[in-house]
Structure 1
C-alpha cells in the first residue's frame, strides 16, 4: 500500500497526467459529437440517418484516447529514468518488481475507468444528437464494442510501461507505441498472401478484432475471445520481460 500511495502521489502531483486526461476526454466526447453530426447531415430524407454503431461513436476513445494514455504510461517510467527519480524509488523499495507492478496497476486501473466512462458517455451523447432513429446505435448486441475499450486500455497501459522499462528512452518508447499499431502492422498486413498469413499473429490486429462486433475477414485461427487472450498473452510476455530486465541491470 505504501508503494501504491507513492505512485499515486507521483501520478497526481504532475501536470502531464491531467493534461493527457483532458485530451482524452476532449477527443472522446468531441469525436462522438462530430460523428453524430455527420450522421445527421448525411441522412437521406425519409430514410433516417445512416448506421452509427456504439463502436464508431466511441472511436475517439479507442483510436486516440487509449494511445494518449499509453504514451502517458510510458512517460511515467521513462521520465523517472531520465531524471534519476527511479533510483530513489528502488532504494526505498529494493523489490523493483513491486514498484513496476504497482505503477502499472495504478495507471492501468485509472485508464480503464476513464475510458470505460468515456465510452458510455460518447454513446449517450451520440444517441442524444442522432435520436432514436439511428438503426445501429443500440447497445443490445453491441456491448462488446463498449466493454472491450477499458480492457484494451488496461492491457495497453501495461504494454506501454513494459516498453518504457525495456527501452528507458521517451522518444524510443513513444515511437514504438505509435508506429507499431498505426504503421508497422498495417505494412505487414499489406503484403498480399504474406500479409494475410501474418495478420492473425499481429497483437493489435487481434485486439482490434475483439473490439469489433462484425466479423473481421482474415485467416484467423481462433475466435474473438481467442484474439483477446492472444493480445493479453503478448502483453504478459513483454511485461514479464521488463520485470526480468529491471531486476538485472543498473538503474
Structure 2
C-alpha cells in the first residue's frame, strides 16, 4: 500500500496527468455533443456512436498519460531513487502500473457516462440508454479497456524509457499499424483478427453494424476478447519487468 501511495503522489505531482485526463473527457463528451447536435432530429443516433470520441481517440490520450508516468522518471533520473528505495524494482513498477490503470479506469468511466448523459439530454426522443448487455459493455466497458491500454503503455515506457519514442510508437501503432496490416496479401486479414486493439473493440462493440467505424472482425466473444487483451498487456508488462531488472537504471 505504501508503494501505491507513493506512485499516486508522484503521478499527480506533475501537470501532464491532469491535462491528459481533461483532454480525454473532453474528447469523449465533445464528440458526443457534436454528433447529437449535428444529426437531424428525425434520424436517431445509436448508443455506440455516442462513445466514438472515447473509444477512438480517448484511448490514445490515456496511453500518452501512462507512458509519461514512466518515461518522465527516466528523463529526470528520479527512477534511480525509486530503485534505490525498492532494489528488486518489480514491486515499484507494478505499483506504478496499478495506479495508472486505476486512474485510466476512472477517466474512462467518467468520459463514457458523461458522453452518454449529455447525448441523452440533447436527444431525449432517441431513447438512448443501457437496455442490453452489449449497451453496458459499450459504455461501462470503456473504463477496463482504458485501464488495460494504460498497462500496455506503461510496459512500453519501461522498455523504451524515452518519452518521444514511446509516445510515437504507441500512437503510430494504435492509429495506423493495425489497419495497415489488413493490406498484407492473403494473411493480413487473419493477422488483424488477433491484434490487441481490434480485439478490444470486439469487447466494446460486439459484431453489430451500427453508426461509426466498422465492428471488429475478431472471432472471440466479448468476454474472451477482454481476457485476451488483458493477457497481452500482462505479457508485455512481465517482459518489461524482466528487462528492467537486468539493465542499468
TM-score (norm 2): 0.91
Q: Does 1:177 align with 2:175?
A: no
Cα deviation code 1:156-175 (max 9, x no counterpart) = 01000000001111111111
Aligned to 2:197: 204
Q: How far did 1:188 drift?
A: 0.4
Q: What SS is found at the alignment partner of 1:191?
A: coil
The Cα shift of 1:205 comes to 0.8
Which consecutive unaligned segments of at least 5 residues does structure 1 have? none
Aligned pairs for 1:74-89 (under 5 A) are 74-89=67-82
RMSD: 1.6
Aligned residues of 1:53 and 1:138 also touching (Cα < 8 A): no
| Equivalences for residues 1-251 of structure 1 within 5 A | 1-39=1-39, 42-43=40-41, 48-50=42-44, 52-132=45-125, 134=126, 137-141=128-132, 142-215=135-208, 216=215, 218=217, 220-251=218-249
Structure 1 or 2, whichever has the larger Rg, is 1
Residue 192 (structure 1) shift: 4.9
1:85-106 deviations in Å (ceiling 9; x for gaps): 1000010111211111111111
Name the CA distance, whole Å, in 2 between partners of 1:66 and 1:221: 22
The 2-side partners of 1:5 and 1:210 are apart by: 31
SS for the counterpart of 1:228 is helix
- Tell me if structure 1 keeps the 8 A contact 2:67–2:167: yes
Q: 1:221 to 1:114 in 2, by over 3 A?
A: closer
SS in 2 for 1:143: helix
Most deviating of 151-160 and 169-178? 169-178
Could you list the per-position Cα deviations for residues 5-52 of structure 1 after superposition, in whole angstroms to 9, with x for gaps in the alignment?
21111112211111111211221211111111012xx34xxxx223x2
Quote the Cα distance in structure 2 between the aligned partners of 1:217 and 1:58.
15
Compute the displacement of 1:113 (Å): 1.1
Runs of 4+ more than 3 Å apart: 213-218
Q: Contact 1:36 / 1:130 at 8 angstroms: preserved in 2?
A: yes
CA distance in 1 between partners of 2:2 and 2:228 (Å): 33
Superposed displacement of residue 68, structure 1: 0.8
Rounded Cα–Cα distance in structure 2 between residues aligned with 1:189 and 1:209: 17
- C-alpha distance in 2 between matches for 1:243 and 1:80: 16
| Preserved CA contact (<8 Å) 2:108 2:146 | yes
- How far did 1:249 drift? 0.9
Cα displacement string for residues 177-233 of structure 1 (whole angstroms, at most 9, x for unaligned residues): 111121111000133532222111211111111111334464x44323222222111
* Contact 1:155-1:232 at 8 Å conserved across structures: yes
Gaps of 5+ in 2: 209-214
